[in-house]
Structure formats: C-alpha cells, structure tokens
Amino acid sequence: MVYIISRMLANKLFEAFSIYRWNDRIRPVDLVEMDKHAHKAVITFLIASLEEEKGKEIDWEYLVDGIVFALLQKIVLSDIKATVIDKIRQDYHNDYISLNKWVVDQYRQYIDDEDFLDKMESFLCKEQSKHEYRILQAASKYSTKRELEIIYNSNQSFPEISNILHKLTDEIMQFSDLPGIAELNSNAGSLFLGMCIIEQLRYQIRWSQSPRIPKTTVLGHCMYVALLIYFISRMLKSCQNRLVNNFFAALFHDLPESVTRDIISPVKQATTDLPAIIKEIESNICEQELYPHFSQYPHFVKKLKYLLGEEFDDEFCNRIMVNNKAEKISDDKDVNKKYNADKYNLVDGRLIKVCDDIAAYMEATKSRDYGITSKHLQDGIYSVSNKYLSMEKIPGVFGVDVKKFFYEFFN
C-alpha cells in the first residue's frame, strides 16, 4: 500500500494560497502565488502543445517538474522580492546557489523522495539550456504581465509602473519565436480571447456562498489538485506520460466552469440525472464558446478534450489512448499493473477525483482552523471525510491508502 501524501506536505503546499503578489501595490483583486503558477502552467501547456503541433518533440516531464519546482521555491522564498532574487542570481551567483540548496533542504521534512529533491536542486542551481526552459520562462513572464495589466490602472500614480509594464512586454517579445507568444502579447486575436476565457477561472471564488480564509479561486484549486496528483503519481512510480497527463488533467478538470461558473457538489447531486445534464451542457457550451477560439490548433483542442474526458459520461473515469482513440477503463482493472506505460497515455481519473475531494477538504478545514467556518464548510468537511473513511475500497484506485490522509487530521 502506498502512503498517499502527508498532512504536512499538503499544508505546506496550501501556503501558496496565502502568499500575496504585488504586495506593495494597490490590488483590485487578490493575487496569490498559487493562482499565478496555475496560470503559468496553463500557458506552458498551450505553448508546448503548439510546438508539438509543429512537429517539435517536447520533454513534458521537464515542464511539469519545472512548474512544481518554481512554486516550491516561491513558497519558501516568499519574503524576498523577485527583483532582489534576480539581483542575487546575477551578481552573487555562489550565494544564489547556496540559497537554492537551502530551499531544497527545507522540503526534506515533507518529501521523502531523494530523486525528486536531487532534480529540484539541479533545476534551481544549474544553468538551464533546454528549449523547454524557455517555454517556462515565457509562460512565467506572460502570466506576470497579465497580473500587472490588472493592477495597472490603480497604480498609475506610481511613475515606475509604466516602466515595469514596458520592460515586461519587451522581455516577452524575446520569446516571440515560440508559437502563440506574439499573439498573446499583443492582447488581440482569437488565441488571446480563448486564453482570457480560461483565465476567468482565476477570478471565480470557490465556496462563494460562505465566508472563508483564505479564499481560493477555481484555477488555484485546480493547481492544488494538480500538485497533489503529481506527488501521488511519483509515489506510484508512474511513467512519464501518466505523470504528465495526471498533472494537466487535474489542472484543467474544472475548465468547463470558465463558461458555466462553479457549481457546488450538493447542487450537482440534487437529482440523479443532474450531473449528466450539467456535463452535457458544459460540453456544449465549451464547443460553442471556448474551442472555436483554438480552431487553428486542433492538436491542442484534442489533447484538452482527452484530458477533460469529454468522450465519456464520467469526467473522472480512468482512461487510456489506444490507436489514437480514447478508451474508458473499468474500475476493477488495476491500472498500475496493466497500463503504467507511456504507450497507453493513462489518465488516473479516479485518483484525480480523490485529490479534488482532498483539496475541497483542505479548503474547508484550513478556514475552520483560522476561526472562520459555516454550515456549508462543516458539511463539506464531514461529507468528504466520511465518504472515504466509510469506504472499504475506492473503485478504480489502486496502491493508494486514502484513509491514512484523513486519519492524520484526527490523530
């Protein structure tokens, strides 16, 4: 039995919801690290998919690892402004390396995976020359620019704000050879409009009917689910495609809510047929309002639909891709034994659902711990924990002991 993920690590990752960005500026909306890195991950997926569409081979695992490493670094170094870190890297390189080694050491109490920690140290401490690193840089700078555009009007009294925006725009143009970057940077065109729809998930607040600390957005929630499934996938010794698919399937699992808004689970379960009805409506609206913006990029849309499980009535089913066709895997088949190979392009839908529930549980319990709760949150805490603690076996989930996670909260 594989131990799912520790409460300590889950709590550490959750800190990214409380780390504010642009903290010395006027902010019309909350901008936090979890959301920023979620948006960066979305842009990374887009650029890499467009590169792949042109026939370029992409090291997807490197991209996913890089996204995770950067967020973990930011969680530890949240007190240091990005400009200061850049100055240390440029002018005090040895100290920068020592600082990043210290960052990695901070996670040894949470992560018992030496291979992961070694890869993280190498990524943070050594010069990166891979093409995929440029994709990560471009995505990071563009997501930062979008934040700046949000706060720009409120901060025009500060003379340096215009210089920061112009500098960021110029820096992004250095990556204009990457597909999609020039169009995104121009704030015009179909691709830009499509990404704006997805970006709306960053401004949708979850549990909107209940006061809560910290508030979490739909996109930030998706990123947290992606982090959970990433670490569990590593524990399961997942092949590269499985690890990557699980991460991005989790990242996009609430994508339809960009056009339908967040619908809480009790409402979705109000009638027997309502979940299927909502899924059908979401799929239809995505076909009408979202996917047409990406009509020039069929490879991107096809990958997205597979990750979302659109071919099936159950978005959280286990699935594989065989002969370029998606197949649903029955819950009695042990995917670890049968499909843990790159050729199957496995998506652990059932396990992603577990992580989705854990994320909801964490959102409710963290707020309760901070002294803010409600009937909605208490009901959520009870329903999620009771669901898994009362299960003898979770259908479609193998090699993972979900109960241990919840027992940690009670002991």
Residue 252 has pLDDT above 80, yes or no: yes
Residue 270 has pLDDT above 90, yes or no: no
Q: What is the pLDDT of residue 65?
A: 99
Reported confidence tier of residue 411, pLDDT bands at 50, 70, 90? low
Span 334-343, average pLDDT: 96
Q: What is the pLDDT of residue 304?
A: 96
Q: What is the pLDDT of residue 308?
A: 95
Q: What is the pLDDT of residue 79?
A: 86
Q: What does the mean pLDDT of the chain come to?
A: 93
| Residue 103 CA, distance from chain mean position | 21
pLDDT higher for 39 or 393?
39
Provide the whole-model pTM.
0.95
Q: What is the pLDDT of residue 1?
A: 58
Question: Do residues 211 and 169 make contact, with C-beta atoms less than 8 angstroms apart?
Answer: no
Reported confidence tier of residue 262, pLDDT bands at 50, 70, 90? low
Reported confidence tier of residue 409, pLDDT bands at 50, 70, 90? confident
Residues sharing a CB contact under 8 Å with residue 301, sequence separation 6 or more, in sequence order:
291, 294, 295
For 190-231, how does the pLDDT look when each residue is reduced to its tens digit (9 = 90+)? 999 999 999 999 999 999 889 999 999 999 999 999 999 999
Cα dihedral: 251, 254, 255, 259 (round 10): -160
Span 177-196, average pLDDT: 94
Q: What is the pLDDT of residue 81?
A: 85
Residue 3 has pLDDT above 70, yes or no: no
Domain containing 91 equals 1-411
For 74-93, how does the pLDDT look when each residue is reduced to its tens digit (9 = 90+)? 999 998 888 899 899 999 99
Span 238-249, average pLDDT: 98
Span 35-63, average pLDDT: 97
Residue 268 has pLDDT above 90, yes or no: no
Reported confidence tier of residue 277, pLDDT bands at 50, 70, 90? confident
Tokens for 69? 């490493």
Q: Give the span between the Cα atoms of 56 and 50, in whole angstroms.
A: 9
Tally the domains of the chain: 1
Sign of the torsion angle spanned by Cα atoms 161, 164, 167, 173: negative
Residue 377 has pLDDT above 80, yes or no: yes
Q: What is the pLDDT of residue 320?
A: 98
pLDDT higher for 343 or 274?
343
Q: What is the pLDDT of residue 281?
A: 85
Burial class of residue 339, CB neighbours in 10 A (0-12, 13-18, 19+): buried
Residue 123 has pLDDT above 90, yes or no: yes
CATH of the domain at 155: 1.10.3210.10
Looking only at the bridges linking them, the beta strands covering 318-322 and 325-329 are antiparallel
Query: What does each C-alpha distance from 374 to 54, 116, 121, 135, 377 come to in angstroms?
Result: 51, 39, 42, 42, 5
The share of the chain scoring above pLDDT 90, in percent, equals: 84
Reported confidence tier of residue 240, pLDDT bands at 50, 70, 90? very high
Span 15-36, average pLDDT: 96
Q: What is the pLDDT of residue 285?
A: 86
Burial 273-301 (b: 16+ CB within 10 A, else e): eebeeebeebbeebeeebbebbeebeebb
Q: What is the pLDDT of residue 300?
A: 96
Reported confidence tier of residue 17, pLDDT bands at 50, 70, 90? very high
End-to-end CA distance of the chain: 20
Q: 345: alpha, beta or left, given left = phi > 0 and alpha = psi -120 to 50? A: left
Residue 264 has pLDDT above 80, yes or no: no
Span 371-391, average pLDDT: 95
Q: What is the pLDDT of residue 149?
A: 95
Q: Can you give the length of the chain in residues?
A: 411
For 362-372, how does the pLDDT look when each residue is reduced to its tens digit (9 = 90+)? 999 999 999 99
Residue 47 has pLDDT above 80, yes or no: yes
Rg (CA), the chain: 21
The share of the chain scoring above pLDDT 70, in percent, equals: 96
